[in-house]
Amino acid sequence: MKGRSGHVARARAEPILLAEPDPAWAEAFAAEEARLRARFADIPVGRIEHVGSTAVPGLIAKPIVDMLIEVPDLQTVHDRIAPVLKAAGYEYFWRPTGPGEAGVAYAWFIRRDASGARTHHLHMLPPQSPYWDRLRFRDLLRARPDLAAEYAAVKREAAARHRNDRAAYARAKGRYIRRVMSSPEKAPKS
């Protein structure tokens, strides 16, 4: 991302802290989904899914509830959703991707508690985004405790090595995720 703003640099510099599984994460998802549905009453929003490690019972996680939120397109996020969430105190991150640029365009938000700790990540995605594939990985971990245990070990090692480098932590996890999802005997059926 060119010309990173201060809030992006600050968010990327926050340390990786893993927590033991907490059943309250499912409740935090449900409460946030209800708040968002109320805020978006006049905005076309589709499904809202709980993803990431907090969505897998028994799995260690950064204690941040990740949510995938289906939107018609990213321009709707920029024009209609961002003003609503920014007014409610959410931090807004936008990464447009143009022709020839690597990566996928996305918009996401961070919600923090009164102490400034992250509580929720809201990932806004159109229905055709490849990021919806995260649901397959979530469902695989829910169905396969052996893989969830492997993934927990990967996360612990990545957090120990890259405590202050969120990008490196994500890359380390990403290698495992890609390997599992490309393995015919492990990958869930679509």
| Residuewise pLDDT in 10s, the chain (190 residues) | 344 467 667 777 788 999 999 999 999 999 999 999 999 999 999 999 999 999 999 999 999 999 999 999 989 999 999 999 999 999 998 876 655 555 667 788 999 999 999 999 999 999 998 889 899 999 999 999 999 999 999 999 999 999 999 889 999 999 999 999 998 665 555 4
Structural domain boundaries, residue 17: 6-182
Which amino acid is it at 1?
M
- Cβ(140)–Cβ(115) below 8 Å: no
What number of CA atoms fall less than 13 Å from residue 97's CA on the CB side?
9
**Residue 189 domain-assigned?**
no
pLDDT of residue 13: 74
The whole-angstrom separation of Cα 63 and Cα 14 is: 13
pLDDT of residue 1: 36
CB-CB neighbours of 171 under 10 Å: 12
**Residue 188 domain-assigned?**
no
Degrees (nearest 5) of the Cα angle 160, 172, 140?
110
**CATH assignment at residue 33:** 3.30.460.10
pLDDT of residue 12: 73
- Pairing label, strands 106-112, 118-125: antiparallel
What is the DSSP secondary-structure string of 132-189? GGHHHHHHHHHH-HHHHHHHHHHHHHHHHH-TT-HHHHHHHHHHHHHHHHH-TTTSPP
Scan for tokens 């612990």, then name that residue: 156
- Cβ(12)–Cβ(171) below 8 Å: no
pLDDT of residue 106: 73
H-helix or E-strand containing 112? strand 106-112
pLDDT of residue 61: 98
Largest CA distance in the chain: 46
pLDDT of residue 17: 94
**Residue 132 domain-assigned?**
yes
Q: Which two structure tokens, joined as six digits, stand for 2?
A: 């060119």
**Residue 163 domain-assigned?**
yes
**Residue 1 domain-assigned?**
no
Total tally of structural domains belonging to the chain: 1
- Cβ(51)–Cβ(67) below 8 Å: yes
